[in-house]
Amino acid sequence: MKDLQTLRSGIDDIDKEILGLFLKRMELCKGVADYKKANNLPVFQGGREQQVLDRIMALTNNKDLEKGTAALFANIMDISKILQNRTILAESPDYTFTVPDFDGAKKIGCQGTSGANSEAAARSVFGDREFTFYPSFEDVFKAVQSGELDYGVLPVQNSTAGSVDSTYDLMAKYPVYIVREVIIEINHCLAAKNDMPLPDIEMVYSHPQALAQCESFLRKNRLRTAGYGNTATAAENVMNSKENIAAICSVECAERMGMKILARDIADVSLNRTQFIIISKDMQVAPDSDSVSVMLTIPHKEGSLYRMLTKFYVNDMNLIRIESRPIRDGSFNVMFFLDFTGKITDPSVKAVMRDLEENCGTFRCIGTYKSE
């Protein structure tokens, strides 16, 4: 048996040779890209790719390794395509985008009522301006699309409860763009009209999610609970009632309503955060944007997701988040929502976008913003 040192140095020598050949291959691919560009041919030519893979599988001559070599050459071709797209796009004119104007914006909207966490998210970007509240998430999307609002503020995920599915479904339905991301810490407190000992509380009202997040506290103090539409309306209800009831809401909400805070930090997981997005009608790009969100469907072929991720990986775009939602056609097929690091003006990012547009069933860039 050879020793590890000898084996590894043999591998290193082979790697050096493979690298040399790979770089030569890339030179030829650049030639192919130039040729395709001059003759206005698409980068991706499915027939040629299958030809190369079939040839490799036939040459492998070892059933056990066939899949491995096919994977390797699929990878080599994916890297080549990305470099070809870069070459083709290198001289294409830069897109020009509007820069968001959060300071100048006048019409800003969110779902719910004043005191809700959406308002806190809006306030952290837009300060003490007036916000319009809409009954549903969809109303906010509609108002942004129609131009009634400059910006809409909506939750996308909570660190305890997970994704806000309806926001994703609405992103697929309305042609709007994400222009900013905001993360808000949700600090649940127990609040009432007046100071009172906990055993005197007859009922605690709040959104079922908030009640679930404070389950240990409620159980320990033997408090009875009832679900309510949202935390802010639960607080309002407490203030309007003559009974000895309390609400679970944010500290900010309790303070705004002039409530007495009976207990702070009552959530089971003390750090509880919600991520919001700010949407606009047009694509707007802040100069410090470093993340890109896309929405796409992948072909029903083995390794589709894997091979798509190759494109991002080779271009140094790191996957931040992957979310899926049904396409609602009775099948279990999904639409993917992906967040990646990358600047939209970077030629590699442009190359990936072009590649995805050419190869995905559905593809839409749904925005770019600074990742929090």
Residue with tokens 């030519």: 45
What is the C-alpha to C-alpha distance for residues 65 and 83, in angstroms, rounded to an integer?
A: 27
82 binds its own copies (CB under 8 A): yes
Here's the x/- map for its own copies, 161-200, by CB under 8 A: it reads as: xx--xx----------------------------------
What is the C-alpha to C-alpha distance for residues 168 and 13, in angstroms, rounded to an integer?
A: 50
Q: Which is nearer to its own copies, 32 or 105 (CB)?
A: 32
332 binds its own copies (CB under 8 A): yes
111 binds its own copies (CB under 8 A): no
Alpha helices by DSSP H, listed for the chain, are 4-38, 46-60, 63-89, 117-126, 137-146, 165-173, 208-213, 215-220, 231-240, 251-256, 304-314, 347-359
Q: Residue 164: which of 153, 154, 156, 172 has the closest Cα?
A: 156
Report CA dihedral (272, 275, 276, 279) to the nearest 10 degrees: 180
129 binds its own copies (CB under 8 A): no
Binding footprint of its own copies, residue count (CB under 8 A): 91
Residue 305 has which token pair? 């997701």
| 76, 172, 251, 261: which one binds its own copies (CB under 8 A) | 76
Specify the stretch interacting with its own copies by CB under 8 A; choose among 54-62, 96-104, 192-200, 240-248: 54-62
331 binds its own copies (CB under 8 A): yes
Residue 37 has which token pair? 């560009």
Specify the stretch interacting with its own copies by CB under 8 A; choose among 126-134, 230-238, 276-284, 319-327: 319-327
313 binds its own copies (CB under 8 A): yes
CB of 126 to its own copies, least distance (A): 23
| 114, 145, 159, 244: which one binds its own copies (CB under 8 A) | 159
Specify the stretch interacting with its own copies by CB under 8 A; choose among 34-42, 236-244, 258-266, 362-370: 34-42
Which residues, in sequence order, are bridge partners of residue 237?
Answer: none
62 binds its own copies (CB under 8 A): yes
Specify the stretch interacting with its own copies by CB under 8 A; choose among 33-41, 98-106, 124-132, 281-289: 33-41
Q: Please state the separation of Cα 196 from the chain's center in Å.
A: 43
CB of 84 to its own copies, least distance (A): 12
Number of Cα atoms under 13 Å in the Cβ half of residue 145: 12
CA quadruple 287, 292, 294, 299: dihedral positive or negative? positive
Using CB under 8 A, which residues numbered 252 to 271 contact its own copies?
268-271
Q: What are phi and psi of 76, to 5 degrees?
A: -60, -40
Using CB under 8 A, which residues numbered 286 to 305 contact its own copies?
302-303, 305
